[in-house]
Structure 1
């Protein structure tokens, strides 16, 4: 693994004069080729994209320029995402797949797999079975709270499920694509417990808002807002959701602020993402649910 303390890339040296690279973050950029050069003089013959986001593959053009015959492997949906916003710094994949793809170059094998909606369309798991390494970018952040809004994941249910999917793999080393170290199976379990706590607390908080009394009761909270903002439904929702998110962030923070780094930075943002997912994906609407 190569890291600058903020982003991470992976590479494998084969015994047949070639190198396989996974991702090429722009903050690492040309240093990735330099670091590979400190290990071997073999060229990079294959590169895999974990997904399309520029912050993880914007230096792919630099890697590709080092070998005009390079093969770039990605999920078909990643290729579609890149085609929507063509970028010479992120060359189009030369090989795509739908469900799984095994890349074997002599003594090195990477198993690539798509397990459904998660961070973005085409987002894949990258497994090195021989080395027992799993790379999954933008889901688990070993030792840290997830990035803002649960790492900006497009499917929070898929994001939660990903923790179980990760633990189904045989690995001892986890590469999450961010920050300053690799992870372990226990790091995955710790974040899984945090995310489940966030979900449970969000469900609880929305339930409190449906009660007749209490700090989150809309019966007490919203009438003054409606009076001050006649006919403005967005004002009502802003106050209501703001109160629920604040409650969730503070409650979860009492259990996690001293356990995961950065909880003081993204605790509120992650609570907001989970509250919205609980409402819209799981249908827990509290006082705004179906009237009986």
Structure 2
């Protein structure tokens, strides 16, 4: 049988709601990246999915994160800006927000001489992972550290476990900017498992923490545009609406029919799955309706985010759990 005779057909891809125009940023160039000014000598780079940032200074370039999806385009973007401004394009420092490979996997492109800086837990985790693409930072901090590099001030802060145990904030006080990665997806909803977070309560607390800093531009680490304080507020409201919906669902979805059906044949996991899926679906439904057209992909990922947020509320806060009389 040749390919034209095959009766096998692929399942059609699902249809999703249109993406709001406000979710999109500038289009990448022919090489697959966009580089733009945040303020003065602070710049950002994106491929439309991931973001990094860099400062041009008297002591070379300070790079913040090195996503492998941008890869060699990081240096191309730096060269473009440096050549236009007559400054050095040599990356002398690389600051990590956290250890994940999707934000640090191009670190090795910058050689052994670059000074790598990150949280002490970032160093521990990268030594554990033993990934040659992600050398561990030589310089670390625990809670706070202020860097003075080439006349520029960079404030690093760790506010506890959140997306990962090491995920940290980078504040640029002289550039009115904040880099907070993998918390707010500017213009979009979070993805699987509440943005793939190790610590969901810690994740939920980070937007409020970010708003205690003075800044006007957010570098969020993902997707194609920069953020504003209003973007953070919309994200907070989305998560708060999910929490409220989960509380209602946990209080109103009756587990009885699921346990009667599956418990009768001894399949307790079948009962648990059916019940929790029903709670997750009830949690997601009103939030999908409210945010479709407001936040991109509200219909794509809200059901998954709703499920894991609901589970975090059950397990971390005891919501919906009852003590047997």
**Alignment TM-score, normalising by the size of structure 1:** 0.92
Structure 1: distance between partners of 2:193 and 2:128? 24
**Could you tell me which residue of structure 2 aligns to residue 19 of structure 1?**
61
**Could you tell me which residue of structure 2 aligns to residue 90 of structure 1?**
134
**Could you tell me which residue of structure 2 aligns to residue 233 of structure 1?**
268
Alignment of 1:32-51 (within 5 A): 32-40=74-82, 41-51=88-98
**Could you tell me which residue of structure 2 aligns to residue 171 of structure 1?**
215
Q: What RMSD over aligned residues (CA atoms) do the two structures have, in Å?
A: 1.1
- Superposed CA deviations along residues 55-89 of structure 1, whole A, max 9, x for unmatched, are 001000002x2xx4211000011111111110110
- Superposed CA deviations along residues 3-52 of structure 1, whole A, max 9, x for unmatched, are 000000000001x1411000000010011001101122331111101000
- Superposed CA deviations along residues 90-139 of structure 1, whole A, max 9, x for unmatched, are 01101011111111113211100000010111110000000011001100
**Could you tell me which residue of structure 2 aligns to residue 59 of structure 1?**
106
Candidates 246, 266, 286, aligned match of 2:281: 246
**Could you tell me which residue of structure 1 aligns to residue 25 of structure 2?**
none
**Could you tell me which residue of structure 2 aligns to residue 135 of structure 1?**
179
**Could you tell me which residue of structure 2 aligns to residue 2 of structure 1?**
45
Structure 1 ranges of 4+ moved more than 3 A: none
Contact 1:45 1:71 in 2 (8 A): yes
Structure 2: distance between partners of 1:150 and 1:37? 36
Contact 1:118 1:155 in 2 (8 A): yes
**Could you tell me which residue of structure 2 aligns to residue 198 of structure 1?**
242
SS of the residue corresponding to residue 281 of structure 1 reads helix
Query: How far off is 1:191 after superposition?
Result: 0.3
**Alignment TM-score, normalising by the size of structure 2:** 0.83
**Could you tell me which residue of structure 2 aligns to residue 80 of structure 1?**
124
May I ask how many residue pairs the two structures share in their alignment? 277
Structure 2: distance between partners of 1:51 and 1:241? 32
**Could you tell me which residue of structure 1 aligns to residue 310 of structure 2?**
275
